[in-house]
Amino acid sequence: MKVGYLLNILLCLLVATSLAEDDLSFEDGDGTQILPIELTDETFEHLTQAATGATTGDWFVKFYAPWCGHCQKLAPTWDELAVRLDKKINIAKINVDDSPNTAERFNIRGFPTLLFFKRGKVYKYTDHDRSVEALAAFTEGGYTSSEEQGEVPKELTTLGYANKVFWKFYNEVIFGFDTVFHMFEMGHLPWYVKFWIVFIVLFSPAIVLALCICACESRYLAKKEAEVMEGIQKSKEETKKPPSNRKKQKID
């Protein structure tokens, strides 16, 4: 009797586990697998329409890097969130290594960064609690208390992206040189003066090298030209000699 009782309990537990796994299945009613939508630089604005007010619905996007440990830890939770909010919120992810333009557009500096897009506005998830319940609650109204929110920045053109990258590089370099500027009481100088100082310091070795190469090349070309002219001159002198002398030389 006891053995039969234990077998019944074990059978019930197996059935319950099976049903629970079915409830958490990453598939919808027709058997289609439910996973976060993978976005790229090319598809981000087209699918989300974030800057235009999002006629495709609300989007919760994870900006991640494949090498990021915290991103890898969040991955199963993000997959489960896609199942929980299926047909309510678009759950998506974007690899910043493969999509640098979009990462730069939203000024992504840490991973993972979670942004919620709703009606032309963006809300950043900053809570340390990254459970499915907390993330779902954020999309259901918690986003209104987000400390970081604002209008969705416009999509970057190629020129705009290049300009932003340049100024990012410039600001980082200038920041590194700021200590030197203040040491020599030059912190008050305008940005363009600092720019040329940094430019000269960074690129003067390359400029000197280029000038040396140009000078060597000029000397080499001048030497070759002199050799050619000397050959032409000798040829002319040979042709001016009397025919008898040329024959005599051949006989000798």
pLDDT at 238: 72
* Residue 64 and residue 96 in contact, taking contact as beta carbons nearer than 8 Å: yes
- Catalytic-labelled residue, pool 71, 212, 214, 216: 71
Predicted confidence (pLDDT) per residue in 5-22, tens digit: 544 555 444 444 443 444
pLDDT at site 158: 64
pLDDT at 31: 53
Stretches where the chain sits below pLDDT 70 are 1-32, 53-54, 156-179, 181-182, 187, 191, 240-252
- pTM score of the predicted model: 0.57
Sorted by sequence, the CB contacts under 8 Å of residue 143 that are 6+ apart come out as 116, 118, 123, 125, 149
pLDDT for 202: 75
> Is position 214 annotated as part of the catalytic site?
no
Instruction: Indicate the SS3 state at residue 62.
Output: strand
Fold of 29-151: Glutaredoxin (3.40.30)
Query: Per the residue annotation, which of 12, 68, 214, 216 is the catalytic one?
Result: 68
Q: What is the pLDDT of residue 75?
A: 96
Q: E strand or H helix at 104, and its extent?
A: helix 100-105
Q: What angle do CA 64, 69, 74 make, to 5 degrees?
A: 65
Q: 123 phi and psi, to 5 degrees?
A: -125, 130
CA distances from 120 to 99, 136, 214, 235 (A): 21, 20, 55, 82
**What gap in Å lies between CA 69 and CA 130, rounded to an integer?**
14
pLDDT at 219: 80
pLDDT for 160 equals 63
Nearest to 114 by CA among 89, 86, 84: 89
Whole-angstrom distance, CA of residue 81 vs CA of residue 75: 10
Domain ranges of the chain: 29-151, 157-241
Give catalytic status of residue 71 as yes or no.
yes
pLDDT of the residue at 20: 41
Q: Which two tokens stand for residue 237?
A: 């002198």
